[in-house]
Structure 1
Amino acid sequence: MLLPSVFVFLRHCLALVALLLMPTILLAAYAEYELRVVDAETQLPCSAKIRILNSREKAQRIDGALMIDGTAYFTGSLKMKLRPGPYNFRLDAGPEYPFMEGSFILNSGDTDSRTIELKRFIDMKKEGWYPGNVALSGGTKDLETIMLADDLVLGTQITWNNQINPWAGRPITKLRDEFGTFRSLWEMGGEDARAGGKLWFSRMNEPLPVQRLQPEYPAATFFEADLKKAHVTAASPLEPDLPLWISHDLLDSIAILGPEIEGYTFSDKHPLAKEAGKIRKGDVTGKARLALDIYYKLLETGLRIPPVAANGTNEDAESSRLDRVYAQVEGTYSPDAWWDAIDAGNLFVTNGPLLRASVEGYPPGHVFPINIGEKHEFQIALSLATRQRIAYLEVIKNGKKEIEVSLDEYKDRRGILPPLEFSDSGWFLVRVVTEESGYYQYATTAPFFVEANGQPRISKSASEFFRDWVFRRAMNIDLPDGDQRNEIIDLQREARDFWQKRAKMANVP
């Protein structure tokens, strides 16, 4: 009669032993690994991002780290708890450091650590070049980590848009978040994305009342009086109301590079639907090249709007890209000096290579006066640093490729490009393209300008291109007949007249 009781007691004891042993067994199924990253020269901790893959090529989630699309962002050190097995990793501390790739093997119960020294192959800030991003989305603390890991000095945080205004009813006591060494994040950035396209607003002192607006009314130009010293950026050259915004002098810059351009969607009624329809299916570079072509056409009209780059997301695979604009700041750096350099076009944009160019000692954005009919040769001084393999380097003159050299030829010429000849007004820039096949990876300087007898180059065909664009946009304004529609149509007529006048001012076909 005692056997069943003893059996039950023993069964409970065994269960208790198993329960007590379980944490040890589970603990033994993991290994702990700490990674420290320091700058080789200063021995100071580096911020970086790392992607760790297991033997099945699956990205590993690191608890406690900021994770974006399987990539962990961290500052100085990263503690990881991983299952035993082999791992591969790719470490990135921004475009001025080399990639670090490697592997490690963890055994059950291991506790290990490793310090990696990263050596800059170039220090852009020592040369006066400072990187920024004009549109960042996410929480402030997360963006601090991202900016440190991507080595960005300045950013604009998109905190308000057409759906939300977190500043409503709150006293505005701070506009800029300053952290790290002279790094800053402007927290009052905003976005207006409606039927006319997407605009980003930087250096704002208060949000615009863009919430719950109609897709077509009012036009973004309605807010011109509220912008004051703000910086307004078109999110791409593909936005439907781009010619309208330009005709009303609304824009301070145009983002010509960024993942949003490659993901852009064209409706059948988009003013550029015909041009977009020519992009071959599967051509991952087509939209990016179309955006550049539109920007070049704009330069051909004699207008000088600086290009910028942005990566306005922290939520998907594109967040790991390094789309940015480098501004050349003379003297002591400050956020105001950075924006002054952007306004002057003293910049280059990139999502990879680091390209610096000067002509006769002047940075991009400079205007060279010449006498019409007199030949003038411009020698481009070029410096290029890259982690990627370069496919080709080219000089664009008046919207067309004037010079193309391979990287080997560039090295053979010791960085000296053939001279560029002008005898009339025009513009030129330098662009390098990598062999990256997943997207259009390149860097381009902002344009240099040449003015003969004080007149810019104005192309009739380019001006008419934007005039016709306005016609197509006006035909598809989605508003019922009435005062609102009439107001928008009147704005489009004004834009049409602006571009028609530009075409009449033309001095080249």
Structure 2
Amino acid sequence: MNLVNTIPLSSLFVLSLASILHAAGGKLTVTVSDEVTGQPTIARLEIFRGQPGEKLMPMRKVVASSVSPSATSPNSVGVVIDRSLELSFPDGIYSFRLTRGPEYRVIRGNFELERESFDDHHVVLPRMIEMIEDGWVSGDACVLPSPNSLPLRMASEDLHVAAVIGRQEAKPIPGRDRREEIEHSPTWIRDDVVYDQGLLYYGLSETNELVKTEELVKTEGPAETEGLVKMEGLASSRLANLPRQSERVRVAIENPFAWPLPVWIASERIDGIFLLGDWLQPDRKRISVEEGRNPEEPRTKDPAELGRFATQIYFKLLEAGIRLVPLAGSGNQGKATCVGYNRLYVNNEDTTYTYQASEENGLATRMETAESWWDAAWKGKSVVTNGPMLKPRLEGQVPGHVFSARSGDAVRLQPELQLSTRDPVDYLDVVCNNQIHYSARLDEFAKAGGIIPPLELTESSWVVYRVVTLYEDHYRAALSAPWFIEFDGKPRKTSQAAKYFRDWLSEYEAILMKLPPQELAKHVPYIRSARAFWDARISDSDGNE
């Protein structure tokens, strides 16, 4: 177990920066290096006008005109520092936040600038944990296209994999030759992703037979969304035409609150679902969704409620015997989200690959290709997070593993986890069949030596680890993909969970009944098929409630 906190280092940095920059003013040049390697590194800087305790104004509203437009990103918060960055400000007192994704500590502080003064400052950025050393490679499964360099933004967040909805040519990076590569390995980007009204198709090119020319729409307008490919027409129809068990094209539910979700699930063409997405953004609170089902009344107006609701929906799917892999990403509406804020860590452990140290960065990884990363992601060998760093195992196996047993057997499985976090943790728990097997505060977990009581199972089950922080603006958490335990080769299915989605379907039907008859008729075949699917699930359940 590795528990860390940023307060001591942050306080030290505040003191040193204040002593250097007090009455410095005017222009500031910042350079950043990695504490371990000592090499110049790429990071993200946020500057606010004012000091802690006051209402802060983000830097983009204060000095955007003094920063090269290519250094800022509509898809990000703050400014990317490409090893060094020169900034100029009006006179005043400022606060700042410097980071490089969730594996690094956050450096915070404040300083004062005065007229016609210049200063250079070098920041050593300390790493909290290095997930890739143990084979956990990070990715963002849904990124909006942007004219600003995605490899540069990925490096600033220590992100290695990205899936972009559409294509867009990036502008040159200031201070870099076009041929100069960004040293951040691996950097794997795919742009064969199509957005379809709450669904994402991976591996679906514009020439695919599923895509009709008249249904394709390329967004025009703001630079951050220009070139985004969307689909028109009925999504359920396209989904139904996709061959079952297609490995060439994978489909994920990007909006887990969408009203048609029970119809999409019933198509049996869905591979994954987003548990962390654009309803979780670092600089804003969101308590409801416009297009989809909101949490049931009474509402709490708690900004973490939507995040908890997405998790509850996923647990209900698992209870209904629906095995979808969890995903995370910036999302279709994540233009104000820094890339990789919501991310997926994937471990490809059971391949024949062995650790190979890179000559460039000295890191070890089992991932040799982007294909191997995505293959492991679709097998559920993963953790989703927007904060806590979680390395989970169950009886020595990474998530996605299926344990087999026979009737009459008693299966004993030992949970194990390593946790590193920058935020105070509210609780960590082990969830088995939508029931809490183990839950503890972090201090309780530490006092127990990081040991979790073993699971003893006599029926088909699923298990998920969850860590939830005390972050106030929204749901900040980490969840493992599930492990499955099958007795006699049968997955767990409960009638109660299946009824939950049949009721959801009934609510969706009531909404569709308000459509004109001609429009309603297009939905009827898919609604009937979905109703038959969920009725069959209820009849075929194992009776567990």
Q: TM-score, normalised by structure 2?
A: 0.78
**In structure 1, what is the equivalent of residue 97 of structure 2?**
90
What is the letter of the counterpart of residue 289 of structure 2? T
Contact 1:279 1:287 in 2 (8 A): no
Query: What is the RMSD computed on CA atoms of the aligned residues?
Result: 2.8
**In structure 1, what is the equivalent of residue 72 of structure 2?**
66
**Larger displacement relative to structure 2 (132-141 or 394-403):** 132-141
2:156 is aligned with 1:156: no
**Larger displacement relative to structure 2 (449-458 or 177-186):** 177-186
Q: Which residue, out of 269, 286, 298, partners 1:278?
A: 298
**In structure 2, what is the equivalent of residue 46 of structure 1?**
41
Deviations 1:333-384 (A, max 9, x none): 1211111111111001011001111112211111111223332221111100
Q: Which residue, out of 468, 486, 498, partners 2:503?
A: 468
What is the letter of the counterpart of residue 308 of structure 1? L
Contact 1:393 1:406 in 2 (8 A): yes
Q: For 2:373, what is the secondary structure of its paired residue?
A: helix
**In structure 2, what is the equivalent of residue 6 of structure 1?**
none
> Deviation of residue 307 (structure 1)?
0.7
Distance 2:436 2:481 in 1: 15
> Deviation of residue 72 (structure 1)?
1.0
> Deviation of residue 499 (structure 1)?
1.4
Cα distance, 1:450–1:472 mapped onto 2, change above 3 Å: same
Cα distance, 1:313–1:504 mapped onto 2, change above 3 Å: closer
Distance 1:298 1:351 in 2: 22
Distance 1:30 1:435 in 2: 36
Count residues with an aligned counterpart.
458
Deviations 1:99-126 (A, max 9, x none): 0112333343222111111221211111
Q: Which residue, out of 126, 129, 141, partners 1:119?
A: 126
Distance 2:335 2:378 in 1: 30
> Deviation of residue 180 (structure 1)?
3.7
What is the letter of the counterpart of residue 256 of structure 2? P
What is the letter of the counterpart of residue 397 of structure 1? C
Deviations 1:442-481 (A, max 9, x none): 1110111111121111101111222232233233325533
Q: For 1:439, what is the secondary structure of its paired residue?
A: coil
Contact 1:266 1:276 in 2 (8 A): no
User: Counterparts in 2 of 1:441-456, with a 5 A limit?
Assistant: 441-456=476-491
Deviations 1:287-332 (A, max 9, x none): 2212211111100011211111111268765448721111112334
**In structure 1, what is the equivalent of residue 289 of structure 2?**
265
Distance 1:247 1:456 in 2: 17
Q: For 1:236, what is the secondary structure of its paired residue?
A: coil
Contact 2:28 2:87 in 1 (8 A): yes
Deviations 1:79-108 (A, max 9, x none): 112234433211011111100112333343
What is the letter of the counterpart of residue 414 of structure 1? G
Q: Which residue, out of 223, 237, 252, partners 2:271?
A: 252
Q: For 2:273, what is the secondary structure of its paired residue?
A: strand
**In structure 2, what is the equivalent of residue 298 of structure 1?**
317
Q: Which residue, out of 181, 186, 192, partners 2:190?
A: 186
**In structure 1, what is the equivalent of residue 468 of structure 2?**
433
Distance 2:119 2:287 in 1: 42
Contact 2:304 2:475 in 1 (8 A): yes
Contact 1:155 1:186 in 2 (8 A): yes
Distance 2:48 2:182 in 1: 34
> What 5-or-longer segments of structure 1 have no aligned partner?
1-28, 167-176
Cα distance, 1:266–1:110 mapped onto 2, change above 3 Å: closer
Distance 1:315 1:31 in 2: 33
Q: Which residue, out of 312, 318, 341, partners 1:322?
A: 341
Distance 1:394 1:302 in 2: 22
Distance 1:218 1:366 in 2: 31
User: Counterparts in 2 of 1:353-392, with a 5 A limit?
Assistant: 353-392=388-427
**Larger displacement relative to structure 2 (311-320 or 414-423):** 311-320
Answer with 1 or 2: which has the greater Rg: 1
> Deviation of residue 405 (structure 1)?
0.8
Distance 1:346 1:355 in 2: 13
> Deviation of residue 415 (structure 1)?
1.5
Q: TM-score, normalised by structure 1?
A: 0.83
User: Counterparts in 2 of 1:487-502, with a 5 A limit?
Assistant: 487-502=522-537
Cα distance, 1:362–1:324 mapped onto 2, change above 3 Å: same
Cα distance, 1:503–1:284 mapped onto 2, change above 3 Å: same
Cα distance, 1:321–1:90 mapped onto 2, change above 3 Å: farther
**In structure 1, what is the equivalent of residue 516 of structure 2?**
480
Deviations 1:156-190 (A, max 9, x none): 11127xxxx99xxxxxxxxxx99842202212322
Q: For 2:269, what is the secondary structure of its paired residue?
A: coil
Cα distance, 1:423–1:100 mapped onto 2, change above 3 Å: same
Distance 1:158 1:179 in 2: 24
Distance 2:302 2:235 in 1: 35
**Larger displacement relative to structure 2 (119-128 or 320-329):** 320-329
What is the letter of the counterpart of residue 211 of structure 1? L
2:143 is aligned with 1:136: yes
Percent identity, please.
29
What is the letter of the counterpart of residue 72 of structure 2? L
User: Counterparts in 2 of 1:307-346, with a 5 A limit?
Assistant: 307-312=326-331, 317-319=336-338, 322-330=341-349, 331=353, 332-333=366-367, 334-346=369-381
> Deviation of residue 495 (structure 1)?
1.3
Distance 1:435 1:328 in 2: 27
Contact 2:153 2:339 in 1 (8 A): no
**In structure 1, what is the equivalent of residue 216 of structure 2?**
211
Contact 1:66 1:74 in 2 (8 A): no
Contact 1:354 1:443 in 2 (8 A): yes
Distance 1:257 1:146 in 2: 20
2:203 is aligned with 1:200: no
